[in-house]
Structure 1
Amino acid sequence: MAAVSYVPYGCSFTDSYRQWEINLKKRRVYDAYLMPVTITIATTGFKSDAGMLTVRCNGDRFPAGFQISSSHDLASNATERREESENGKLNEASDVMEGSLEQDTIACIHDDLMLLIQRCMEEKNSGLGVQLLKHIARSEVEKDPLLRKQLIIMFNSLDDLLEAIKDVSQLCKENVFSWDVIICSSLKLGQSEKVLELYHTMKELAVEPNYNILVAVLKACGNLGSKDMAMTAHMHAVQLGYDSDVFVNAAIIDTYCKFGLFNDARIIFNSMWEQQDVSWNALIIGYCHKGCLQDSLHSLQNMQKEGFCPARSIFWTLLSSCTNSTALELGKQLHANIIGSGFENDMRIYNGLINFYGKCDAIDDACVTFNRGQMQDVVTWNVLLTAHSQKGYFEEVFAIFQAMQNDDCQPDGITFGSLLTAYCNAEDLEKGKQLHSYILALGVGTHSFVGNNLLNMYIKCGTLQDAQTIFDSLPEQDVSSWNMMIKAYLEHELIEKALAALDGMQMCGIQPDHITFLPFVKVCSNILALEHGQHIHASIVKRGFDTQLAIINSLINMYGKCGKLEEAHLLFDKAPEKDILTWNALMTGYVSEGQGLAALRLYLQLEHAGIKPDKGTYFRAIRACTAVSALGLGKRIHEAVKEAGFSTEMSIINALVDMYAKCGSLKDAHRVFQESSNKDVVTWSSLISGYAEQSDYDTAVELFQEMQEEGVKPDGIAFLSLLAACAHKGLVIKGLFWLRQMRDHYEITEELQHYDCIVDLLGCRGLFDEAEDLLETIPFQYNVVGWLSLLGSCKTYTNLKVAKRCFDIINGVDTDHTTSYVLLSSVYTKAGMYREAEELEISRRDKELWKKTGQAYIEVDNHIHCFSADDETHPQTAGIHSKLELLNLQAKQQGLLNDGVYLDTIPPVVQQDLFCRHSEKLATVFGLMTVPRDAPIRVAKNLRICTDCHQAIKIISKIEHRDILVKDIDCIHIFSNGSCSCGDRHYQSNSCTNAH
Structure 2
Amino acid sequence: MESKTSTKLANLLQSCIDKKAHLAGKLLHAHILRTGLFFIDTFLSNRLLEFYSKCGNMNSSRRVFDKMPRKDIYSWNAILGAYCKANKLEDAHAVFVQMPERNTVSWNTLISALARSGFEKNALNAYYEMNWEGFMPTHFTLASVFSACGALVDVECGRGCHGIAIKIGLDKNMYVGNALLCMYTKCRLMGDAIKAFEDIPEPNEVSFTAMMGGLAETDEVEEALKMFMLMHRSRICIDSVSLSAVLGVCAREGCGESGLHDQCDRFSCNVHGQQVHGLTLKLGFERDLHLSNSMLDMYAKNGDMESSEMIFANMPDVSVVSWNVMIAGYGQRYQSQKAIEYLQRMQYSGFKPDEVTNINMLAACVKSGDIETGRKIFDSMSCPSLSSWNAILSGYFQDGNHKEAIKLFREMQFRHVQPDRTTFAIILSSCAGMGLLEGGKQVHAASQRASSHMDIYVASGLIGMYSKCGNTEMAKLIFDRMTELDTVCWNSMMAGFSLNSLDKEAFIFFEEMRKKGIYPTQFSYATVLSCCAKLSSLSQGRQVHGQIEKDGYINDVFVGSALIDMYSKCGYVDGARQFFDMMSCKNTVTWNEMIYGYAQNGRGDEAVRLYEDMIKSGQRPDGITFVAVLTACSHSGLVDEGIEIFNSMQLEHGVEPLLDHYTCIIDSLGRAGRFCEAEALLDKMPYKDDPIIWEVLLSSCRVHANVSLARRAAEELFRLDPHNSASYVLLANIYASLGRWDDARAVRELMSDKQVIKNPGYSWTEHKNGMQAFMVDDNLRMVDDEVEAVDAGTSCLNR
Range of TM-score over shorter length: 0.7 to 0.9
How many angstroms does 1:342 deviate by? 3.9
Deviates most, 502-511 or 373-382: 502-511
SS at match of 2:630: helix
Cα 1:670/1:495, change in 2 over 3 Å: closer
What residue number does 2:33 align with?
none
What residue number does 2:110 align with?
150
Considering fraction of residues, name the structure with more helix: 2
Cα 1:504/1:718, change in 2 over 3 Å: closer
1:598-677 aligned at under 5 Å gives the runs: 598-677=505-584
**Are residue 865 (structure 1) and residue 766 (structure 2) matched?**
no
Q: Is the 8 A contact 1:218 1:230 kept in 2?
A: no
Q: Distance in 1 between matches of 2:194 and 2:150?
A: 26
**Are residue 686 (structure 1) and residue 597 (structure 2) matched?**
no
SS at match of 2:773: strand
How many angstroms does 1:148 deviate by? 5.6
What residue number does 1:723 align with?
630
**Are residue 244 (structure 1) and residue 167 (structure 2) matched?**
yes
Q: Is the 8 A contact 2:470 2:500 kept in 1?
A: yes
Residue number among 387, 391, 398 corresponding to 2:302 in the alignment: 391
How many angstroms does 1:752 deviate by? 1.3
What residue number does 1:363 align with?
273
User: What amino acid sits opposite 1:147 in the alignment?
Assistant: W
Q: Is the 8 A contact 1:828 1:837 kept in 2?
A: no
Q: Is the 8 A contact 1:91 1:119 kept in 2?
A: no
Cα 1:578/1:632, change in 2 over 3 Å: same
What residue number does 1:520 align with?
427
What residue number does 1:695 align with?
602
Residue number among 282, 286, 296 corresponding to 1:372 in the alignment: 282
SS at match of 1:867: strand
SS at match of 2:771: strand
SS at match of 1:323: helix
1:873-888 aligned at under 5 Å gives the runs: none
1:439-588 aligned at under 5 Å gives the runs: 439-464=346-371, 466-471=373-378, 473-474=380-381, 477-492=384-399, 498=405, 501-502=408-409, 510-526=417-433, 528=435, 532-588=439-495
Unaligned runs of 5+ in 1: 1-14, 18-74, 98-105, 163-177, 186-198, 251-274, 871-905, 931-996
What residue number does 1:423 align with?
330
Q: Distance in 2 between matches of 1:161 and 1:430?
A: 46
Q: Distance in 2 between matches of 1:707 and 1:161?
A: 63
**Are residue 784 (structure 1) and residue 691 (structure 2) matched?**
yes
1:99-119, CA deviations, whole angstroms, 9 ceiling, x for partnerless residues?
xxxxxxx99978569868989
SS at match of 2:243: helix
1:16-31 aligned at under 5 Å gives the runs: 16=10
Q: Distance in 1 between matches of 2:136 and 2:760?
A: 71
Q: Is the 8 A contact 1:692 1:728 kept in 2?
A: yes
SS at match of 2:770: strand
1:873-912 aligned at under 5 Å gives the runs: 910=779
Cα 1:365/1:484, change in 2 over 3 Å: same
Q: Distance in 1 between matches of 2:299 and 2:150?
A: 41
**Are residue 337 (structure 1) and residue 236 (structure 2) matched?**
no
What residue number does 2:266 align with?
none
How many angstroms does 1:311 deviate by? 4.0
User: What is the CA RMSD across the aligned residues, in angstroms?
Assistant: 5.6
Q: Is the 8 A contact 1:297 1:334 kept in 2?
A: no
Q: Is the 8 A contact 1:94 1:116 kept in 2?
A: no
SS at match of 1:560: helix
1:803-855, CA deviations, whole angstroms, 9 ceiling, x for partnerless residues?
8876765565456668778988999999898998699689769xxx9969947
Cα 1:918/1:694, change in 2 over 3 Å: farther
Q: Distance in 1 between matches of 2:146 and 2:328?
A: 44
How many angstroms does 1:315 deviate by? 0.7
Q: Distance in 2 between matches of 1:345 and 1:230?
A: 29
Q: How many residues align?
A: 730
Q: Distance in 1 between matches of 2:537 and 2:136?
A: 64
Q: Distance in 1 between matches of 2:66 and 2:311?
A: 60
How many angstroms does 1:692 deviate by? 2.6
Cα 1:712/1:436, change in 2 over 3 Å: closer
What residue number does 1:986 align with?
none
How many angstroms does 1:779 deviate by? 1.0
Q: Distance in 1 between matches of 2:794 and 2:109?
A: 81
Cα 1:546/1:331, change in 2 over 3 Å: closer
What residue number does 1:435 align with?
342
Q: Distance in 1 between matches of 2:627 and 2:115?
A: 71
1:979-994 aligned at under 5 Å gives the runs: none
1:819-838 aligned at under 5 Å gives the runs: none
What residue number does 1:976 align with?
none
SS at match of 1:613: coil
The higher relative CO (CA closer than 8 Å, separation ≥ 6) is in: 1
What residue number does 1:181 align with?
126
Q: Distance in 1 between matches of 2:149 and 2:791?
A: 61
What residue number does 1:348 align with?
241
User: What amino acid sits opposite 2:771 in the alignment?
Assistant: H
SS at match of 1:858: strand
Q: Is the 8 A contact 2:378 2:384 kept in 1?
A: yes
Q: Distance in 2 between matches of 1:828 and 1:283?
A: 88
Q: Distance in 2 between matches of 1:350 and 1:412?
A: 19
How many angstroms does 1:122 deviate by? 8.9
Q: Is the 8 A contact 1:455 1:471 kept in 2?
A: yes
Deviates most, 499-508 or 315-324: 499-508
Cα 1:782/1:596, change in 2 over 3 Å: farther
Q: Is the 8 A contact 2:115 2:148 kept in 1?
A: no
Q: Distance in 2 between matches of 1:326 and 1:225?
A: 22
Q: Distance in 1 between matches of 2:228 and 2:295?
A: 17
User: What amino acid sits opposite 1:351 in the alignment?
Assistant: S
Cα 1:757/1:223, change in 2 over 3 Å: same
1:524-567, CA deviations, whole angstroms, 9 ceiling, x for partnerless residues?
44455556555544444444443443333334334433444334
Q: Which protein is bigger by CA-based radius of gyration? A: 1
Q: Distance in 2 between matches of 1:442 and 1:220?
A: 43
How many angstroms does 1:394 deviate by? 1.3
What residue number does 2:6 align with?
none
1:314-333 aligned at under 5 Å gives the runs: 314-323=207-216, 330-333=223-226
Q: Distance in 2 between matches of 1:371 and 1:671?
A: 55
How many angstroms does 1:760 deviate by? 4.3
SS at match of 1:345: coil
User: What amino acid sits opposite 2:486 in the alignment?
Assistant: D
Identity percentage of aligned residues: 22
Q: Is the 8 A contact 2:369 2:399 kept in 1?
A: no
User: What amino acid sits opposite 1:317 in the alignment?
Assistant: A
How many angstroms does 1:490 deviate by? 4.9
Q: Distance in 1 between matches of 2:333 and 2:298?
A: 22
Q: Distance in 2 between matches of 1:402 and 1:359?
A: 24
Q: Is the 8 A contact 1:490 1:519 kept in 2?
A: yes
Deviates most, 642-651 or 463-472: 463-472
Q: Distance in 1 between matches of 2:784 and 2:124?
A: 77
What residue number does 1:310 align with?
203
How many angstroms does 1:484 deviate by? 3.6
Unaligned runs of 5+ in 2: 1-8, 12-38, 53-57, 254-268
Cα 1:335/1:743, change in 2 over 3 Å: closer
Q: Is the 8 A contact 1:726 1:735 kept in 2?
A: yes
How many angstroms does 1:753 deviate by? 1.5
